[in-house]
Amino acid sequence: MSQNQSQQQSQQRSQQPSRQKAQEHTPMQQPPGTEALLTPKADHGESSYVGHGRLADKKALITGADSGIGRAVALAFAREGADVLIAYLNEHEDAKETGRLVKEAGRKAVLVPGDIADPAHCRALVDRAVQEFGRIDVLVNNAAFQMTHEDIEDIPDEEWRHTFAVNIDAMFYICKAAVKHMKPGSSIINTTSINSDKPKPTLLAYATTKGAIANFTAGLAQLLADKGIRVNSVAPGPIWTPLIPSTMPPEEVASFGQQTPMKRAGQPAELAPVYVMLASNEASYVSGARIAVTGGTPIL
- For 171, 194, 284, the CA distances from 288, given in Å and listed in that order, are 16, 16, 12
The 3-state secondary structure of 114-182, one letter per residue = CCCCCHHHHHHHHHHHHHHHCCCCEEEECCCCCCCCCCHHHCCHHHHHHHHHHHHHHHHHHHHHHHHHC
CA dihedral (73, 74, 76, 81) positive or negative: positive
- How many other CB atoms are found less than 10 A from the CB of residue 59? 24
> Beta strands of 31-145 (E only): which ranges?
59-63, 83-88, 109-113, 138-141
275 is annotated as an active-site residue: no
- Output the CA torsion 83→13→244→27 (10° steps): -120
**Contact status, residue 85 vs residue 138, Cβ threshold 8 Å:** no
Say how far apart CA 101 and CA 105 lie, in whole Å.
6
CA 242 to chain centre: 12
Question: What is the distance between the terminal CA atoms of the chain, rounded to a whole angstrom?
Answer: 37
Catalytic one of 88, 206, 275, 285: 206
Backbone phi, psi, residue 12, to 5°: -65, -40
Give the residue numbers annotated as catalytic, written as ranges.
Answer: 206
